[in-house]
C-alpha cells in the first residue's frame, strides 16, 4: 500500500496533513469574499474615480483573473516539480498580496494587488487538489471533499464576520485579515510532505490505485468543469451583489452583508460536514439534485425581499445547497484521472471556479440595472430548478441501471452454480 495514504480505518481528520490542507482550503474563501463588507466604503472613498462602479465590484472576483491565467501553469508545476513547494509558495504570496490591499493609495493599485493574490490562489488550490488525491482514497477522499468545503465555509464565516465588523470602522481594515494566513504557514510547512514523484505523462503512476482513472476522461472532465463554472457563477452573486442588494433594501450594507455572508458560509460549512455520509446514501446525482434545489429555494426567498430574518434564511439555503453540490466536482475529477494528471485536473477545476466568479458580475449587473434584483434572483431560481430536476432524473436512471446490472450479475452467478 502507498505510504502516502492514510490507513483505511483511520479518521481522515486525525491526519496532520489533512488539517494542513484544510487550513489551506480556508484561504480560498478569504481570498475573495472577505472584503465584500468593505465594497460600499471603498466605492465612497474612491467616488472620484470614473471607473469606481465596476472596479469596486470587481475587487472581489479580481483574483479570478489571475487564477484563470496562472492555474494551467500551476498544474504543470505541480505535476512536474512537486506539490509541496508550489503550495508553500502560494501561501507566502497570499499573505503579502492580501495585506498590501489595505495600504495602497489608489483603486487601481488595490486592483493590482488583488490580481497578485489570484496567483497565490492558483498555486494553493491546484497543489491542494493534487495532494488530496495523493494522500486519500475511497470514502476518506469523499470525506475530505466535504471537510474541504467546511473549512472554506467556517473560515469564511469567521473571516467575513470579522471583516463586517472591521469595515464599520474603515474600508481598509478588512485587508489586515489576510495576515492571518501567515500563522498557518509554519504548520503547513511541517505537516505537508511531498508525495511520491509522478511518472511522465502517459505512463502508469506508481501511486495508482484501483478506481483512479478512466480511459475517456477528457470529455468527462470538460463537462464537470463547465458545470462547476456555472455553479460558481451563480453562487458568486452573493458576495458581489449582496452588499448592494442590502443597501438598496435600506439595511446597513457593511453589517448586514457581514451577517448575510456569515450565515451563508456557516450553514454551508455545517452541511458539508455531512457530505461523505450524504454521498454514500444518495450518490453524486442525488447530492446535485438536493443541492441545486436548496440553492433555488434560497434565491426564491431573496426575490421576495422580505424581512431581514427571511433574507438570512434565503442566504442559508443557498449556502446549504452549494455545500451539497460543490464537493462532487473534485471527487469525480480525482476518480476519473490518473495520478500523474491530478495537477492538470486541479488546474482545470480551479480555473473553472474562478472563471465563473469573474463572469458573475458581468452577467448579473446588466440584469440588475435593467430589471432589478428580484428579476435576477427569480431567473437564477428557475435555472437551478431545472438543474435539480435534471440531476434527479439522471440519479434515478443511474440507480435503476445499477440495480438491473446487479440483478443480471446475480442471475449469471446462480446459473453458474
Work out the mean pLDDT of the chain and round it to a whole number.
82
Report residue 244's pLDDT band, with 50, 70 and 90 as the boundaries: confident
**Would you tell me the crossing angle of helices 342-371 and 327-336 to the nearest 10 degrees?**
150
Report residue 78's pLDDT band, with 50, 70 and 90 as the boundaries: confident
pLDDT at res. 1 = 41
Q: pLDDT at residue 389 above 80?
A: yes
Closest CA to 267 of 152, 139, 381: 152
Overall average pLDDT of the 20-42 stretch: 80
Helix, strand, or coil (residue 315): helix
Question: pLDDT, tens digit, for every residue of 161-213?
Answer: 788 788 778 878 888 889 888 899 999 999 888 765 444 333 333 333 444 55
Could you tell me what percentage of the chain is helix, strand and coil, using 3-state DSSP and rounding each to the nearest 5?
80, 0, 20
pLDDT at res. 214 = 66
Report residue 90's pLDDT band, with 50, 70 and 90 as the boundaries: very high
pLDDT at res. 406 = 61
Q: What does 227-245 look like in DSSP terms, one character per residue?
A: HHHHHHHHHTHHHHHHHHH
Overall average pLDDT of the 67-96 stretch: 88
Q: pLDDT at residue 294 above 60?
A: yes
Q: Which of 186-200, 251-265, 327-341 has the lowest mean pLDDT?
A: 186-200
pLDDT at res. 413 = 55
Question: pLDDT, tens digit, for every residue of 301-331?
Answer: 999 988 888 999 999 999 999 999 988 898 8
pLDDT at res. 144 = 85
pLDDT at res. 201 = 37
Q: Which of 12-21, 242-251, 408-417 has the lowest mean pLDDT?
A: 408-417
CA distances for 414 relative to 21, 401, 408, 417, angstroms: 47, 20, 10, 5
Q: Are 181 and 90 in contact (CB under 8 A)?
A: no
pLDDT at res. 411 = 59
50 vs 347, higher pLDDT = 347
pLDDT at res. 77 = 86
Q: Please tell me the distance from the alpha carbon of residue 264 to that of residue 185, in angstroms, as a whole number.
A: 27
Question: pLDDT, tens digit, for every residue of 99-157?
Answer: 888 888 888 888 899 999 989 999 998 888 888 888 887 777 878 888 888 888 787 77
Closest CA to 354 of 198, 222, 233: 233
Q: Please tell me the distance from the alpha carbon of residue 2 to that of residue 9, in angstroms, as a whole number.
A: 15
Question: pLDDT, tens digit, for every residue of 266-275?
Answer: 888 888 888 8
Q: pLDDT at residue 6 above 50?
A: no
Query: For the chain, what is the largest distance between any 2 Cα atoms, rounded to a whole number of angstroms?
Result: 84
Helix, strand, or coil (residue 339): helix
CA distances for 345 relative to 5, 172, 302, 384, 413, angstroms: 19, 36, 35, 26, 38
Q: Please tell me the distance from the alpha carbon of residue 264 to that of residue 266, in angstroms, as a whole number.
A: 6
> Mean pLDDT: which of 241-250, 365-374, 396-405 is highest?
365-374
Overall average pLDDT of the 387-413 stretch: 76
For the beta carbon of residue 307, count every other beta carbon within 10 angstroms: 8
Amino acid at each position: 500500500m502507498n505510504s502516502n495514504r492514510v490507513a483505511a480505518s483511520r479518521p481522515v481528520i486525525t491526519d496532520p496533513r489533512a488539517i494542513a490542507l484544510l487550513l489551506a482550503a480556508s484561504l480560498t474563501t478569504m481570498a475573495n469574499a472577505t472584503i465584500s463588507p468593505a465594497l460600499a466604503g471603498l466605492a465612497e472613498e474612491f467616488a472620484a474615480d470614473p471607473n469606481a462602479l465596476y472596479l469596486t465590484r470587481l475587487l472581489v472576483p479580481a483574483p479570478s483573473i489571475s487564477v484563470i491565467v496562472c492555474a494551467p501553469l500551476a498544474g504543470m508545476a505541480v505535476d512536474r516539480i512537486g506539490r509541496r513547494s508550489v503550495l508553500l509558495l502560494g501561501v507566502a504570496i497570499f499573505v503579502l498580496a492580501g495585506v498590501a490591499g489595505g495600504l495602497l493609495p489608489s483603486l487601481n493599485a488595490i486592483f493590482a494587488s488583488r490580481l497578485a493574490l489570484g496567483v497565490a490562489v492558483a498555486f494553493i488550490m491546484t497543489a491542494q487538489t493534487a495532494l488530496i488525491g495523493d494522500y486519500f482514497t475511497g470514502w476518506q477522499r469523499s470525506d475530505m471533499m466535504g471537510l474541504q468545503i467546511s473549512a472554506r465555509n467556517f473560515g469564511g464565516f469567521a473571516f467575513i464576520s470579522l471583516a463586517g465588523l472591521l469595515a464599520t470602522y474603515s474600508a481598509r481594515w478588512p485587508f489586515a485579515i489576510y495576515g492571518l494566513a501567515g500563522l498557518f504557514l509554519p504548520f503547513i510547512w511541517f505537516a505537508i510532505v511531498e508525495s511520491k514523484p509522478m511518472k511522465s505523462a502517459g505512463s502508469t503512476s506508481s501511486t495508482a490505485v484501483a478506481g483512479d482513472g478512466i480511459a475517456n476522461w477528457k470529455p468527462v472532465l470538460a463537462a464537470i468543469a463547465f458545470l462547476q463554472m456555472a455553479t460558481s457563477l451563480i453562487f458568486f452573486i452573493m458576495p458581489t451583489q449582496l452588499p448592494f442588494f442590502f443597501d438598496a433594501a435600506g439595511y446597513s450594507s457593511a453589517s448586514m452583508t457581514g451577517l448575510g455572508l456569515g450565515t451563508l458560509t456557516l450553514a454551508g460549512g455545517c452541511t458539508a460536514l455531512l457530505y461523505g455520509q450524504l454521498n454514500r446514501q444518495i450518490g453524486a446525482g442525488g447530492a446535485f439534485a438536493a443541492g441545486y434545489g436548496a440553492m433555488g429555494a434560497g434565491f426564491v426567498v431573496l426575490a421576495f425581499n422580505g424581512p431581514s430574518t427571511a433574507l438570512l434564511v434565503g442566504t442559508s439555503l443557498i449556502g446549504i445547497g452549494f455545500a451539497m453540490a460543490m464537493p462532487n466536482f473534485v471527487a469525480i475529477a480525482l476518480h476519473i484521472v490518473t495520478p500523474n494528471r491530478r495537477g492538470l485536473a486541479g488546474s482545470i477545476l480551479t480555473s473553472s471556479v474562478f472563471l465563473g466568479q469573474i463572469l458573475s458580475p458581468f452577467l448579473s449587473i446588466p440584469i440588475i440595472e435593467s430589471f432589478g434584483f428580484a428579476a435576477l434572483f427569480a431567473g437564477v431560481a428557475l435555472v437551478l430548478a431545472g438543474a435539480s430536476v435534471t440531476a434527479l432524473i439522471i440519479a434515478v436512471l443511474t440507480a435503476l441501471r445499477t440495480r438491473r446490472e446487479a440483478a443480471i450479475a446475480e442471475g449469471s452467478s446462480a446459473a453458474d452454480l
